[in-house]
A and B are shown apart, each in its own frame.
Chain A
Amino acid sequence: MELFWEIVISALMVIGGVFGLVGSYGLVKLPDPMTRLHAPTKATTVGVGSVLIASMLYFAVFRDDLSLHELMITLFLFLTAPITAHFIAKANMHRDWKAEDLPRPQGDGQWAIYEIDSDTSAEELDEAEEAES
């Protein structure tokens, strides 16, 4: 039974290492910023996820103390990876793309990132102050 767990843990570690390497290699290799966004945010979270699960299994099987800390880290990374990817994509659109170059989104509006008054602006604040006084 020990051999089985050893094989499982080793396989998870190797998979994690390969995925992490491929993700970071994609960061160097891929041609433009938006495709570069794709490589690390997908591959490294899979890589780190399987390394963390390998660590959890290792401590549960060979050290007899099952801790769920790793699951917490995995969950946290899986929750935050799309948020950071979204923010980086927005920053990218803001810096390198114009609204005319992109297909229009559905509905009447423009992409939220190009709407000048999508957030609270100085004029709106002034209007709110005038309405109060």
Chain B
Amino acid sequence: MITYALMFAIACFTLALLFNLYRVVHAPGVTDRLLALDTMVINTIALLVLFGIAENTAIFFEASVLFAMVGFVSTVAYAKFILRGDIIE
């Protein structure tokens, strides 16, 4: 049963990534692009964790922790750049 649930969840998140990719390419404004990239990072973290379950290894947790941190910092830096025209004033 877990195998089917796993496949379903992986399919869902892959489709979600495709939606995000569409939004990154066809964005009405730059903030939409930023939001889509942020969502992409979150979906990728979920995919990494699910892949870790599928491969039966715990090695992907570190990767997802790093991904979460880098995604947060880059989103805030980009938003700050849009807001002030500079990242560190």
Contacts and interface: CB of A to CB of B under 8 A. Distances in A.
A13 B69 CA distance: 23
Interface string A62-80: 0101010110110011001
A91 B8 CA distance: 36
A111 interface: no
Contacts, number: 164
A13 B29 contact: no
Contacts of A72: 65
Given A24-B20, A27-B19, A77-B68, A13 B35 contact: no
A6 B58 contact: no
A44 B5 contact: no
A17 B56 contact: no
Interface in A61-104: 63, 65, 67, 69-70, 72-73, 76-77, 80, 83-84, 87-88, 90-92, 94-96
Contact of A51 (B9, B11, B56, B58): B9
Given A6-B1, A67-B61, A16 B45 contact: no
A10 B56 CA distance: 16
Interface of B: 1-2, 4-6, 8-13, 15-17, 19-20, 22-23, 28-32, 34-36, 38-39, 42-43, 45-46, 49-50, 52-53, 56, 58, 61-62, 64-65, 68-69, 72, 75-76, 79-80, 82-84, 89
Interface of A: 6-7, 9-11, 13-14, 16-18, 20-21, 23-25, 27-28, 33, 36-37, 40-41, 44-45, 47-48, 51-52, 54-55, 58-59, 63, 65, 67, 69-70, 72-73, 76-77, 80, 83-84, 87-88, 90-92, 94-96, 113, 119-120
